[in-house]
């Protein structure tokens, strides 16, 4: 009897399998599962997927035209501002700008107050000990700026002179490294406006500033009475977007990916063209 029942059940299962009725679907094979997983990973593999929909606090230098320019209504434009907004749109995240003194950007990154920093920050080995940098998004060298009637035309003319520099900048580092070579002394000030005022008022003989910054300011009439005495104080170096070391790597990758896309489609050049002569 048991044998007969087994034979009936076996036959019923065979018919059911042929008809496709009442049977659970066969489990997918390992190969099928792997292929499906690969497709899923590929569909979400763009660097923006990890940051999409998120909001990041991004620091900019509060007064550093043409990289950051405050408008009458309090909003900001400039190379840094337009670039980070374009990358955010490309990668699907939102930016909350945090204007601050340049010297406060790295401490804010380290403390976690902000997620990323701009400010035309030169990529240096010293800074790499504290922050991680993106690919360079601009090449910027230092210029020596003096009063229009100073008579200074070369670095050797700085002997016995007082040079104003902005705290925490590449200019401040260069001045410290070269003060003995050229025989000048240094006055370290809080921001670019203070260094320009010191030169204009005769409290300093010259200042060091990023060439694209000071040339833009002179061009639009913001630095009346000043001139670029030496265009290339040092070899132009790259500037980068920064995050706290080992942190926010998805944001860093998204910045690099977005920057690459903007360069490829011509948007990057259009942003620069808005601020360069």
CB neighbours of 121 closer than 8 A, spacing ≥ 6? Answer: 102, 105, 127, 133, 239, 240, 242
Confidence of residue 275 (pLDDT cuts 50, 70, 90): confident
Instruction: Measure the CA–CA gap between 38 and 275, rounded to whole angstroms.
Output: 44
The domain containing residue 226 runs over which residues?
142-230
Average pLDDT over residues 165-193: 94
Asked if residue 187 belongs to a domain, the reply is yes
State whether 133 and 260 are in the same domain: yes
For the whole model, what pTM was predicted?
A: 0.69
Structure tokens at 141: 């060298």
Strand order in the sheet with 185-189: 185-189, 162-166, 206-210, 142-147, 226-230
State whether 147 and 133 are in the same domain: no
**Span 183-202, pLDDT tens digits:** 999 999 988 889 999 999 99
- Tell whether the torsion through CA atoms of 180, 184, 186 and 192 is positive or negative: negative
**Span 243-267, pLDDT tens digits:** 999 999 999 999 999 999 999 999 9
- Structurally, the chain folds into a number of domains equal to 2
Instruction: Yes or no: say if 143 and 211 are a contact pair by the CB < 8 Å rule.
Output: yes
**Span 80-130, pLDDT tens digits:** 999 999 999 999 999 999 999 999 999 999 999 999 999 989 899 999 999
Per DSSP, 234 falls in state S
Instruction: Yes or no: say if 142 and 201 are a contact pair by the CB < 8 Å rule.
Output: no
pLDDT of residue 219: 85
State whether 121 and 196 are in the same domain: no
Nearest to 188 by CA among 212, 202, 204: 204
pLDDT of residue 108: 98
State whether 195 and 124 are in the same domain: no
* pLDDT above 70 as % of the chain: 82
pLDDT of residue 22: 38
Average pLDDT over residues 10-28: 40
Asked if residue 14 belongs to a domain, the reply is no
Per-residue pLDDT at 31 exceeds 80? no
Average pLDDT across the chain, whole number: 85
| CATH number of the domain where residue 108 is located | 3.40.190.10
Per-residue pLDDT at 17 exceeds 90? no
Asked if residue 28 belongs to a domain, the reply is no
**Span 209-233, pLDDT tens digits:** 988 888 888 888 889 899 999 988 9
pLDDT of residue 170: 86
More confident residue, 241 or 49: 241
Asked if residue 81 belongs to a domain, the reply is yes
CB neighbours of 171 closer than 8 A, spacing ≥ 6? Answer: 142, 165, 207, 208, 209, 210
State whether 133 and 175 are in the same domain: no
Asked if residue 1 belongs to a domain, the reply is no
Nearest to 165 by CA among 207, 201, 202: 207
Instruction: Measure the CA–CA gap between 60 and 119, rounded to whole angstroms.
Output: 5
* pLDDT above 90 as % of the chain: 66
């Amino acid at each position: 009897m048991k044998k007969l029942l087994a034979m009936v059940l076996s036959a019923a299962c065979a018919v059911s399998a042929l008809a496709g009725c009442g049977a659970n679907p066969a489990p997918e094979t390992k190969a099928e599962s792997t292929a499906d997983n690969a497709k899923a990973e590929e569909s979400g593999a763009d660097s923006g997927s990890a940051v999409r929909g998120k909001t990041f606090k991004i620091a900019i230098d509060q007064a550093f035209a043409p990289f950051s320019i405050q408008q009458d209504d309090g909003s900001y434009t400039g190379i840094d501002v337009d670039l980070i907004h374009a990358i955010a749109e490309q990668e699907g995240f939102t930016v909350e700008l945090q204007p601050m003194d340049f010297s406060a950007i790295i401490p804010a990154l380290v403390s976690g107050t902000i997620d990323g920093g701009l400010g035309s920050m030169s990529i240096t080995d010293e800074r790499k000990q504290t922050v991680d940098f993106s690919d360079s998004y601009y090449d910027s060298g230092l210029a020596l700026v003096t009063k229009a009637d100073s008579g200074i035309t070369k670095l050797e003319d700085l002997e016995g002179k007082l040079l104003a520099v902005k705290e925490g900048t590449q200019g401040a580092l260069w001045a410290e490294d070269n003060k003995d070579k050229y025989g000048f002394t240094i006055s370290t000030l809080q921001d670019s406006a203070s260094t320009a005022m010191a030169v204009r008022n005769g409290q300093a003989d010259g200042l060091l500033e990023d060439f694209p910054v000071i040339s833009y300011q002179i061009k639009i009439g913001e630095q009346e009475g000043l001139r670029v005495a030496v265009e290339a104080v040092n070899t132009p170096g790259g500037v980068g977007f920064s995050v706290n070391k080992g942190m926010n790597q998805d944001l860093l990758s998204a910045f690099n990916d977005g920057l690459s896309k903007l360069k490829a489609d011509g948007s990057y050049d259009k942003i620069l063209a808005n601020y360069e002569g």
